[in-house]
Amino acid sequence: MARTAHRTHDRRIMIAMTIYVVVLVCVWPLAKAALEPVPKIGYALAPVLPLLYVIWAMGQKILHSDELEQRTHLIGIGVAAAAICVISIVSGFLAAANAMTLAATSAVLMWIFPLMMLVYGAARSYAARRYGGGACDEDERLPLYLRLLWAAVLLGVAAAYLYFRSGHAEAAGMVLGMAVTIALGSAIFAVRRWRRQRTPRE
Amino acid sequence: MNNHVRQLREQRGWSQGDLAEHLDVSRQTVNAIETSKYDPSLPLAFKIAKLFRQSIESIFVPGKE
């Protein structure tokens, strides 16, 4: 498959993630205020649709990757699955023993997917480095640091919206913290890329 | 496993990106094969051999056990 299709998948994933953040910030909060069960469920599950699309697009991307990329994807998914298993079982035991509140348990469940993506990305990056590549993004039109920067900007906007429009200071602080962390990650990848480009290849 | 992919590529004046395009893989995969960090699958090895018009065993050499 042409490598350009790879970029198409990346673009689709980024657009879907953008829609996910917008839906999460603008639509999902309506679920708490809704009284009727049908709109309540609709608002509550609205962020799931873009996430399902992201999962499908990632599956397509992996299917169309070459054999070494598929191997690094597999390592990333394996490590992420192991991490999520540990977190799930720890949370499950704590919740069953009433050592964890229902709100905390639901918060853990909501963070499983983002955490899985984070661990998957880190593990895949590590595996790719072991095979002599960087974060496997050198050939991409939109490098990893720019993608992370985009995510940080998006989360920053979401935090501002939460703080100024919705008045959820606590949630805004959490989202802003995520944005800053991702921006720092972006800066690290940008410096690494710059240093790699300065050293002659081969 | 060692291989002569880099020499064969350089003989043709190709960059790693050019070879990656011919094989429909990423540049990182070509780099990993050339540096013996990754042994290609049999289908990819056949593809490389066909591209350079050589036998697999003349390109890929078993390393020390």
pLDDT tens string, chain A, 202 residues long: the values are: 556 667 777 788 888 888 887 887 778 878 888 888 899 999 999 989 998 998 898 898 899 899 999 999 999 999 999 999 998 898 888 888 888 787 777 777 777 887 888 888 889 888 988 888 754 455 556 777 888 888 889 888 888 887 887 777 777 787 788 888 888 888 888 888 888 777 765 4
pLDDT at residue A145 in the model? 84
Task: Let me know if residue B26 belongs to a domain.
Answer: yes
pLDDT at residue B38 in the model? 93
* Cβ-defined contact of B24 to A1 (cutoff 8 Å): yes
Domain ranges of chain A: 1-64, 67-140, 143-202
Whether residue B16 lies within 8 A of chain A, CB to CB, comes out as: yes
- For residue B50, is pLDDT > 90? yes
Q: What is the dihedral of CA B37, B43, B45, B48, to 10 degrees?
A: -120
pLDDT at residue A196 in the model? 76
pLDDT at residue A96 in the model? 86
Task: Let me know if residue B62 belongs to a domain.
Answer: no
pLDDT at residue A4 in the model? 62
Which residue from A67, A132, A202 is facing B44, i.e. has the nearest CB? A67
Which residue from B32, B40, B41 is facing A133, i.e. has the nearest CB? B32
* Cβ-defined contact of B26 to A68 (cutoff 8 Å): yes
Is the Cβ–Cβ distance between A178 and A158 less than 8 Å? Answer: no
Structural domain of B15: 2-53
Would the pTM count as exceeding 0.90? no
Distance CA A181, CA A166 (A): 23
Beta-ladder partners of B2: B61
Task: Let me know if residue B15 belongs to a domain.
Answer: yes
ipTM score: 0.89
Task: Let me know if residue B35 belongs to a domain.
Answer: yes
Provide the H-helix boundaries in B1-65: 5-11, 16-23, 27-34, 42-52, 56-59
- For residue B54, is pLDDT > 90? yes
Task: Let me know if residue B61 belongs to a domain.
Answer: no
Please report, for residues A79, A123, A138, A149, A166, the alpha-carbon distance to residue A57 in angstroms, rounded to integers and kept in the order given.
20, 20, 21, 21, 32
User: Beta B60-61 vs B2-3: how paired, if at all?
Assistant: antiparallel
pLDDT at residue B46 in the model? 96
Task: Let me know if residue B65 belongs to a domain.
Answer: no
Task: Give how many domains chain B has, as a whole number.
Answer: 1
Ordered DSSP codes for chain A = --HHHHHHHHHHHHHHHHHHHHHHHHTTTHHHH--SHHHHHHHHHTTHHHHHHHHHHHHHHHHTS-HHHHHHHHHHHHHHHHHHHHHHHHHHHHHHTT-S-HHHHHHHHHHHHHHHHHHHHHHHHHHHHHTT-SSS-TT-SS-HHHHHHHHHHHHHHHHHHIIIII--HHHHHHHHHHHHHHHHHHHHHHHHHHHHHHSPP-
Name every chain A residue with its beta carbon within 8 A of the beta carbon of B20.
Answer: 3
Name every chain A residue with its beta carbon within 8 A of the beta carbon of B24.
Answer: 1-3, 66
